[in-house]
Amino acid sequence: MKAVVCSALTEWGLPPALTLMDWPSRAPGPGDIRVALHAGGVNFGDLLVTTGRYQVKLTPPFVLGTEGAGIVAECGAGVTKFKAGDRVLLQNNDVRACFADEVTLPAARAVHVPAGIRLTDIAGFPLNFGTSYYALAHRAALRAGDVLAVHGASGGVGLAAVKLGKMMGATVIATGGDDEKLRAVQAEGADFTVNYRTEPLAERIRELTRDRGADVSFDPVGGDVFDAAMRSTAIDGRLLVVGFAGGRIPAAPANRILFGGLSVVGAPYGGFTQRNPERWAELMSGLLDKVRDGALKPLVHRRFGFDQAAEALQMVAERKVIGKCVLMSDRGLAEIATDCASSSDVI
Ligand SMILES: NC(=O)c1ccc[n+]([C@@H]2O[C@H](COP(=O)([O-])OP(=O)(O)OC[C@H]3O[C@@H](n4cnc5c(N)ncnc54)[C@H](OP(=O)(O)O)[C@@H]3O)[C@@H](O)[C@H]2O)c1
């Protein structure tokens, strides 16, 4: 099979060392499925892996890619949930290896894709929408009528949180560092936007909420943005710690937590999916039903071929992506060529 292989770890900021090359495929063991992939989602986490900054260190050469969508090619002994030919969505934190023609993984890490959803439209869905839904619904108990502040809102998990927040009935304040990207986020549903490069973040959120602050703050950026989120989350509010895209891991002053009645809540989605594969499958299938019904519309910013993997990752590194990009195999390219029904692309 063909796979996007990371041949060496690189410094942060330099292009990743990725090559499309032949790679051995793996027959499914008991409980596994082998999936012929249409596409894989490109994540910030892939950059962390190629620069050796991810919590799990991989030694090159290895195949990149955590999530994807495709068609079941073969089932290992004992698999009853799937049969060859089923359309599946998968997330594969342990094995990774989704930037490839095919991947073999435990059947528990895949779910059925409802008819009518194009596989290349959904390949980048599991990590972003799974993380954001787990954070908002399971960790912060977001309610209809809440004010939700989503920081880094143009990014993968940020834009998913905006869309999920609107679906769940919240008023959404989207923050980011670029006016053009913020306009795109507003077009995707955010009620208000704040540019944290040009405006005082905490003060603007307090102004927009008549000094109350946000009931729920969603923070995948960290650093100064987290500090501002501490000052702009309402009394008895919930501040979700999702990630540190900005680089600095912040510290939460305990006096603010005490006097603000704040719940500072971690959202370790990767760990959740590994510990609870059944709950993950239930969560993901529920979200896919929302996509099928038109209540959720994932955005694919740009589609690349596998041979353009380094370019796609560089775009993430340069903060040029709105939402998510996907990398397509030849099957994915063929799906796009034969089906122009989707209108979810920006470009
Ligand atoms: N908790 C979990 O299970 C989980 C799951 C997935 C991801 N994450 C983490 O969440 C964070 C965001 O992931 P993502 O997929 O949304 O990434 P992304 O698509 O690259 O988006 C990150 C956003 O953060 C903002 N940002 C601010 N400072 C930045 C900087 N120095 N470098 C890059 N971006 C910066 C950018 O918006 P502006 O340009 O508008 O500032 C960007 O749109 C990462 O730390 C990732 O590891 C956590």
Pocket of ligand 1 contains residue 316 by CB under 6 Å: yes
Mean pLDDT across the chain: 95
Going by CA atoms, what residue is nearest to atom 33 of ligand 1? 245
Going by CA atoms, what residue is nearest to atom 37 of ligand 1? 152
Tell me the CB-side half-sphere exposure of residue 44, using CA atoms within 13 A: 22
In a mutational test of the pocket of ligand 1, which residue from 164, 185, 227, 242 has the highest number of ligand atoms less than 8 Å from its CB? 242
CATH architecture of 129-269: 3-Layer(aba) Sandwich (3.40)
Going by CA atoms, what residue is nearest to atom 48 of ligand 1? 243
84-103 residue pLDDT tens: 999 999 998 877 899 999 99
Going by CA atoms, what residue is nearest to atom 9 of ligand 1? 243
Question: What is the C-alpha to C-alpha distance for residues 47 and 64, in angstroms, rounded to an integer?
Answer: 10
262-299 residue pLDDT tens: 999 999 999 999 999 999 999 999 999 999 999 999 99
Residue 156 near residue 127, CB atoms below 8 Å: yes
Residue owning tokens 């249409």: 38
**Where is average pLDDT lowest: 9-13, 145-149, 282-286, 340-344?**
340-344
In a mutational test of the pocket of ligand 1, which residue from 221, 275, 321 has the highest number of ligand atoms less than 8 Å from its CB? 221
Q: pLDDT band at 342, cuts 50/70/90?
A: very low
Question: What is the C-alpha to C-alpha distance for residues 139 and 141, in angstroms, rounded to an integer?
Answer: 6
CATH fold of 2-124+298-338, please?
A: Quinone Oxidoreductase; Chain A, domain 1 (3.90.180)
Q: pLDDT band at 339, cuts 50/70/90?
A: low
Question: What is the C-alpha to C-alpha distance for residues 239 and 264, in angstroms, rounded to an integer?
Answer: 5
Going by CA atoms, what residue is nearest to atom 29 of ligand 1? 246
- Following DSSP, what letter does each residue of 116-140 receive, concatenated? T--HHHHTTHHHHHHHHHIIIIIIS
Beta-sheet pairing, 300-305 with 192-195:
unpaired
Q: Where are the domains of the chain?
A: 2-124+298-338, 129-269
Question: What is the C-alpha to C-alpha distance for residues 208 and 205, in angstroms, rounded to an integer?
Answer: 5
45-87 residue pLDDT tens: 999 999 999 888 899 999 999 999 999 999 999 999 999 999 9
Tell me the CB-side half-sphere exposure of residue 334, using CA atoms within 13 A: 7
Decide whether 2-124+298-338 matches 129-269 in CATH topology: no
Angle, helices 156-167 vs 125-133, to 10°: value is 50
**Where is average pLDDT lowest: 10-19, 121-130, 185-194?**
10-19
Question: What is the C-alpha to C-alpha distance for residues 290 and 269, in angstroms, rounded to an integer?
Answer: 20
